Structure 1
Amino acid sequence: MSIVRIENVSKRYRLGEQEVAALRGVSVSIEQGEFVAIAGPSGSGKTTLLNMIGCIDTPTGGRVVVDGQDVTGRSPDQLADLRARTLGFIFQTFNLLPVLSAEENVEYPLVNIQHLPREERRRRVAYFLDMVGLTRFAKHRPNQLSGGQRQRVAIARALATRPKIVLADEPTANLDHQSGEGILQLMKEINHHSGTTFIFSTHDARVIAMADRVVRVSDGEVVGEESNR
């Protein structure tokens, strides 16, 4: 069953007097539980496409359906609610809050979930920090952690809300080879055991090789798809 449907989506931006087409009639369907790479060079439109799925940006034309909900025409509050309930985000720059410890960073998105008791928040934080192998670093702040450890905190934070979909924008870009390999293996294991859908924006050959399916994007268009299954 499709958890994401992109139907003939276009996106245009105005840059002064010019209009720039970031996406041109893109259609993609992603199934529940897939591990998908959206691959292409810088400026190809892959991050814009990921932002459409993440309800961070809205299309100029076409439809975006996430978890059965057409996001077109939704209010900012409705989109924020959909993001909070359905989506987790992992960024190449980690986006951790420097003044918070690892456990506080993981707990941060849970604070905004209504009717989630403090005890359940604490239980989830402990569970997901253990899942990413960082229990003994729970009290450390980001500047006391390596790049790979910070990305593991970011993964735990993304998973803490129990999202159906995790969106990862170049998650290995700022990591050394060994850390990047470890992060990818961890996400693949989570995908395999929990059925969480992972969608990557990437040009990393390691991510592309590990994906179930690769969607190739160039100049704002889908130019091919490959299955690695």
Structure 2
Amino acid sequence: MSIVHLENVFKDYTLGEQQVQALRDVTLNIEDGAFLAIAGPSGSGKSTLLNLIGCIDTPSSGKIFINGQDIGGKKPDELSDLRARTLGFIFQTFNLLPVLSAEENVEYPLLQFKELNATERRGRVAKYLAIVGLSSFTRHRPSQLSGGQRQRVAIARALATQPKIVLADEPTANLDHKTGEGILQLMKNINVEFKTTFIFSTHDRRVMELADRLVHIEDGRIVTQEVRAGGPAVVIERSPATNHPLVQGANQSEADGTHI
């Protein structure tokens, strides 16, 4: 079952007097429970694609369905509600509120859920801070935490709303190699245990190797899609412009296994 579906999506921006086409005729299906990476050079359109899936932006043309809902024509408050209840976000700069403790940062997005009382909110906060291994750091502010710990708080915050989809924009970019591996393995473990769909925008080869599906984007177009289900990667689709076979084997190095 597709939890994300994009159909013939274009996205144009106006920069001064110039029209820039960030995405061109993108069609993409993402299955529920996927651990998918969108890879491409800077300016390729991968962040634009992630923003469209996250309902932060809207397409110039084409259709986008998130969890079965057509986002076309939805009002801003309807998109906000869809984001709050269906999508979680993890950013490379963590985006934690510096004056709040770890537990307060995780609780913050839950305050808009009027159906949750204070006891239920605290229960969720404790649960997800425990999942990311930070039960002993609940009262610490971001300045008292390492980069890896701050990213774990950001993961707990993303999960606390119990979203079906977590969008991660370069989540390892500001972390050292060992810490980044640990964060990636933590997210993979969450994906396997809770069946949460993860969608990454990334340059990181480790993310690409750990992903079970890899989408390559260049100049606003998807050029290849690969399935990586525990064996050699298999190209399942190429842009017609490449004139390559539809299915082709490809080598894949093993992702580094890091225990949390």
Alignment TM-score, normalising by the size of structure 2: 0.88
- Residue 150 (structure 1) aligns with: 150
- Residue 63 (structure 2) aligns with: 63
Say whether residues 1:49 and 2:45 are aligned partners: no
Alignment of 1:118-197 (within 5 A): 118-197=118-197
What is the identity, as a one-letter code, of the residue corresponding to 2:152?
R
- Alignment partners' CA distance in 1, 2:29 and 2:117: 36
Paired residue secondary structure (1:111) = helix
Percent identity over the alignment? 69
Report the Cα offset of residue 116 of structure 1. Answer: 0.5
Report the Cα offset of residue 114 of structure 1. Answer: 1.6
- Over 3 Å off, 4+ runs: none
Paired residue secondary structure (2:190) = helix
Report the Cα offset of residue 73 of structure 1. Answer: 1.2
What is the identity, as a one-letter code, of the residue corresponding to 1:144?
Q
- Residue 103 (structure 1) aligns with: 103
- Residue 75 (structure 1) aligns with: 75
How many equivalent residue pairs? 229
What is the identity, as a one-letter code, of the residue corresponding to 2:175?
L
- Residue 16 (structure 1) aligns with: 16
- Alignment partners' CA distance in 2, 1:47 and 1:30: 16
- Alignment partners' CA distance in 1, 2:52 and 2:72: 10
Report the Cα offset of residue 21 of structure 1. Answer: 0.5
Report the Cα offset of residue 117 of structure 1. Answer: 1.1
Say whether residues 1:33 and 2:33 are aligned partners: yes
- Alignment partners' CA distance in 2, 1:60 and 1:192: 35
- Alignment partners' CA distance in 1, 2:17 and 2:128: 48
Report the Cα offset of residue 210 of structure 1. Answer: 0.2
- Alignment partners' CA distance in 1, 2:90 and 2:6: 21
Paired residue secondary structure (2:112) = coil
- Alignment partners' CA distance in 2, 1:113 and 1:38: 31
- Alignment partners' CA distance in 2, 1:104 and 1:13: 37
- Alignment partners' CA distance in 2, 1:64 and 1:114: 28
- Alignment partners' CA distance in 1, 2:93 and 2:42: 16
Paired residue secondary structure (1:41) = coil
Paired residue secondary structure (2:72) = coil
Structure 1 unaligned spans of 5+: none
Paired residue secondary structure (1:25) = strand
Q: What's the C-alpha RMSD, in Å, of the aligned pairs?
A: 0.4
What is the identity, as a one-letter code, of the residue corresponding to 2:168?
A
Report the Cα offset of residue 19 of structure 1. Answer: 0.2
- Alignment partners' CA distance in 1, 2:123 and 2:116: 11
| Greater Rg over alpha carbons, structure | 2
- Residue 208 (structure 2) aligns with: 208
